[in-house]
Structure formats: structure tokens, C-alpha cells
């Protein structure tokens, strides 16, 4: 029985749990809150992973560059494209959330909320000063987002500067990153049970309004991801790489299909590399470096979603966000997406960081957990497409591409 359970793909178990949870909530009504503790257990397990996952993933990702000199011709261009497209993506999510307001109109008076994070009221100077951690241990204990990320980046840079002497430490962080991904996968096995309980609670306590809002969120997630793929990546290929957009997408269709079905950038990595080299003509050195780095830090779909989900939670619980909060969200969503591992459900783990910084109740995670897998599949497709787009563009800029592999005969 147990073997049969694990043979079923996780996403199928999650979708089934989602449907059964909604039906149970409708039938049980407000008393469905009696099983919400199962969902709370799942959320606490997710929050447990935040600090170690970000710390090990970021340090390992920076150290994976291998040599500071690589940040010049290839790495510098790739990182710049990753950051710029990430910022565009998160502002796209904020724009869609502000325009459509998927969380507006939901009556949350029946919810017994836990502790709500204190809204961000610091000045710009305070924010700059706060990114320098006085005590890294205290930063980790307090789950202070920006100083944790800065400290992690500095450790990674220090490993690169140490060269051979830093290799033993790099191996420790590489192993730690792999271990945390495995631990995350263990926690993700709780997803069907958490989703069932949370969706029963949402449907039984809040009724149809909450489900309509979730449907809007899912729709906006797919719309935002499609806009990123078509407009941002399409423009990158057409105007920066000056290559046919149709041939590019035709060349990565296998990677897009695998990423959508697995919801894992890491699991799709071998397919993405094969598509970039064989179908797009990107050299092995550029493809291996940029796509491997992108699988770790290029999470535009996740960045867009974190911005959208933060506004969703703010609208549900009536949290007023200032323009300063919007800028803070844009920074944290981009950096949080960088810290998100390339495995299913990683974006869900990063939510606690962004929500806490701007005072959005963590109960928002309970709302979106039930439909996160459905959205995660599309976000991963966006992330993987971005890895291929950046690798192709950088290859063109550095002359490391054979366009004959990519351009079809009728386009030459």
C-alpha cells in the first residue's frame, strides 16, 4: 500500500488532495477547522527549512561560479541578465496583483489568525544599515532576510577568493545544499496531507469567495509566466541575440515539457543542457556554466509569483503596503527566488521571508499551499526557458554559438 502511494507522482497526489479537500470542506462546513492543525504542521515544517536552505543554496550557488575571473566575459553578462529579468518579472507580478486584485473581497472574519509579522516601518538609511549583520547567528535565529542573504553571498565570494584553499569549505556547502534539497523533498511528501487539510479549512470556513480568489491567483500566475516567456525572453532572443524567436522555442520545447511535468529546474537540467547544445548551437562551456548557474539562481517565475502572492495576502487580510514596501518586495522576491532550490515547492518556502518583511500574515501560505503545485509547474517552465534564453544570448555576445544548429533552412 505504501509502495503504491509513493509510485504515484507527487503532483497527482496533491491535485487529488486538493479536490478531496474542497469537497470535504463543503460537506463539513466550519467544523473543517478541526483538521487545520495538519496543515499548520505542514506550514511549520516549511518554515523550518527557510534559513538553512537559503544559506547553503546561496553560498553553494556563488561558489559554483568557480573563478571570479569568469564573472567577466560570461558570468558578468549572465548575472546581469538574470538580475534585470528577475526585477522585470517581480514588478510584473506586482503590477498584475495591483491591477486585478485577486485577494480583494474575501471575508476573513471567521479565521483565527496567529501572530502577524510587524509591518516594515524602517527608513531607507535603516534598511541599508540593517543589511550588515552584527551577528550572523542572531540573524539566522531571527530569520532576518537581507542580512542573511548578504552574509551568504559574502561567504560564497570569500570561497572564490580563497581558490584552492577554499575548496574543502566549498565541498561542505555543496554537500549541505544537496542535503537540504533532500530534506526539502522529505517535507514536500507532507504536501498532500497539508493541502487536504488546508483546502478543507478554506472551503469550509470561507466558502466560495476564497476558492474564486484562488482561481484568480492561479490564472494570474499563468498569465504572468506566459508574459515573461513570450515578451521578456522573446525580446531577449530577437533584439539582443538577433535570432529567430520561433526557432529558439522550437529548440527548447523538450526542456519546457519536462520542466512542466516535474516542476523541478534541477531535474530538467540535463534536458536543458542537451537542448542548448544540440538544438540551439550553444558551446558546451557556456551552456554548462550558464544553465547550471541559472538552475540555482535564475528563478524569474518564482520571483514574479512571490510578488503576486504577497499582494494576494495583503489584499485578503487588509494590509496596506506603501511604495517602499513594493520596492522591498521587489528586492526580497528577487533574492528569495535566488535562494529557492530548483525543486518542487521551493517557492512556497520562500514566502515566509517576503511576507514577514512587509507584515503580511503567514496564514496566506495556508491559502496558496493547496494550489501551489499547479502554479509551480508553470513557474518552473518559465525558469528553465529563462536559463536557455540567457545561455543563448550570452553565447551570441561572446561568439560561443553555432547558429546553423538553431536556424532552420527556411530562415537562413
Q: Which domain holds residue 162?
A: 34-411
Q: What's the CATH code of the domain at 257?
A: 1.10.3860.10
What are the CA-CA distances from residue 217 to residues 1, 40, 221, 374 (Å)? 35, 21, 6, 11
347: left (phi over 0), alpha (psi -120 to 50) or beta: alpha
Q: Which residues pair with 142 in a beta bridge?
A: none
Is 8 among the domain residues?
A: no
How many whole angstroms separate alpha carbon 40 and alpha carbon 200?
A: 13
Is 5 among the domain residues?
A: no
pLDDT at position 410 is 41
Is 28 among the domain residues?
A: no
Please say whether the beta carbons of 31 and 204 come within 8 A. Answer: yes
Is 55 among the domain residues?
A: yes
Phi, psi (rounded to 5 degrees) for 138: -65, -35
The structural domain count of the chain equals: 1
How many whole angstroms separate alpha carbon 48 and alpha carbon 235?
A: 39
* Residue with grid cell 486584485, as numbered in its chain: 101
Q: Which residues pair with 282 in a beta bridge?
A: 401
Please say whether the beta carbons of 197 and 44 come within 8 A. Answer: no
Is 47 among the domain residues?
A: yes
Coil, helix or strand at residue 67: coil
Cell numbers standing for residue 57: 543554496
Long-range CB contacts (< 8 A, 24+ apart) of 407-412?
407/243, 407/244, 407/247, 408/244, 408/247, 411/244, 411/247
Which residues 6+ apart lie within 8 Å of 404 measured at CB?
Answer: 281, 412
Q: How would you write the pLDDT of the chain (412 residues) with one tens digit per residue? A: 777 888 887 768 877 887 898 899 888 888 888 888 888 888 788 778 777 877 887 788 677 766 666 656 677 888 889 989 999 999 999 999 999 999 887 766 655 555 544 555 555 566 567 677 788 888 888 766 667 777 887 898 899 888 889 999 999 998 988 888 788 778 878 878 987 887 788 778 777 777 888 899 999 999 999 999 999 999 999 999 999 999 999 999 988 988 886 777 766 877 888 899 889 999 877 887 788 777 767 889 989 999 999 999 999 888 899 898 999 899 888 876 665 655 556 667 778 778 878 888 877 887 787 788 789 889 989 999 999 999 999 999 988 888 776 655 344 3
* DSSP secondary structure, 260-321, as one string: HHH--HHHHHHHHHHIIIIIS-B-HHHHHHHHHHHHHH--HHHHHHHHHHHHHHHHHTT---
Is 118 among the domain residues?
A: yes
Is 182 among the domain residues?
A: yes
pLDDT digits (tens, 9 = 90+) for 325-358: 999 899 888 876 665 655 556 667 778 778 878 8
Is 24 among the domain residues?
A: no
Amino acid at each position: 500500500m505504501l509502495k503504491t502511494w509513493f509510485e504515484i507522482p507527487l503532483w497527482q497526489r496533491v491535485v487529488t488532495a486538493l479536490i478531496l479537500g474542497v469537497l470535504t470542506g463543503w460537506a463539513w462546513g466550519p467544523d473543517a477547522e478541526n483538521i487545520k492543525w495538519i496543515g499548520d504542521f505542514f506550514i511549520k515544517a516549511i518554515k523550518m527549512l527557510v534559513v538553512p536552505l537559503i544559506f547553503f543554496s546561496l553560498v553553494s550557488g556563488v561558489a559554483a561560479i568557480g573563478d571570479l575571473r569568469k564573472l567577466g566575459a560570461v558570468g558578468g553578462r549572465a548575472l546581469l541578465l538574470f538580475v534585470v529579468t528577475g526585477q522585470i518579472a517581480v514588478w510584473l507580478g506586482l503590477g498584475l496583483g495591483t491591477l486585478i486584485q485577486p485577494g480583494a473581497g474575501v471575508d476573513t472574519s471567521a479565521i483565527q489568525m496567529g501572530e502577524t509579522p510587524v509591518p516594515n516601518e524602517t527608513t531607507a538609511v535603516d534598511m541599508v544599515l540593517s543589511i550588515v549583520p552584527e551577528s550572523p547567528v542572531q540573524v539566522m535565529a531571527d530569520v532576518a532576510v537581507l542580512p542573511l542573504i548578504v552574509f551568504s553571498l559574502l561567504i560564497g565570494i570569500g570561497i572564490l577568493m580563497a581558490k584552492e584553499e577554499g575548496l574543502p569549505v566549498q565541498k561542505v556547502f555543496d554537500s549541505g545544499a544537496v542535503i537540504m534539497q533532500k530534506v526539502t523533498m522529505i517535507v514536500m511528501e507532507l504536501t498532500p496531507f497539508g493541502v487536504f487539510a488546508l483546502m478543507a479549512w478554506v472551503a469550509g470556513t470561507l466558502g466560495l469567495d476564497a476558492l474564486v480568489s484562488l482561481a484568480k491567483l492561479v490564472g494570474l500566475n499563468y498569465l504572468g509566466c506566459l508574459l515573461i516567456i513570450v515578451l521578456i525572453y522573446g525580446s531577449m532572443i530577437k533584439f539582443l541575440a538577433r535570432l529567430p524567436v520561433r526557432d529558439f522555442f522550437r529548440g527548447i520545447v523538450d526542456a519546457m515539457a519536462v520542466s512542466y511535468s516535474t516542476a523541478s529546474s534541477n531535474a530538467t537540467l540535463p534536458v536543458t543542457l542537451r537542448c542548448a547544445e544540440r538544438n540551439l548551437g550553444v558551446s558546451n562551456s557556456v551552456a554548462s556554466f550558464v544553465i547550471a548557474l541559472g538552475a540555482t539562481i535564475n528563478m524569474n517565475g518564482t520571483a514574479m509569483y512571490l510578488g503576486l502572492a504577497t499582494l494576494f495576502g495583503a489584499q485578503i487580510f487588509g494590509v496596506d503596503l506603501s511604495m517602499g514596501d513594493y520596492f522591498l518586495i521587489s528586492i526580497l522576491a528577487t533574492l528569495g527566488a535566488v535562494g529557492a532550490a530548483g525543486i518542487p515547492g521551493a517557492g512556497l518556502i520562500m514566502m515566509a521571508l517576503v511576507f514577514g518583511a512587509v507584515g503580511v500574515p503567514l496564514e496566506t501560505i495556508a491559502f496558496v499551499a493547496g494550489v501551489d503545485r499547479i502554479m509551480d509547474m508553470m513557474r518552473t517552465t518559465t525558469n528553465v526557458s529563462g536559463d536557455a534564453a540567457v545561455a543563448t544570448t550570452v553565447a551570441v555576445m561572446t561568439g560561443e554559438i553555432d547558429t546553423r544548429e538553431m536556424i532552420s533552412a527556411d530562415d537562413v
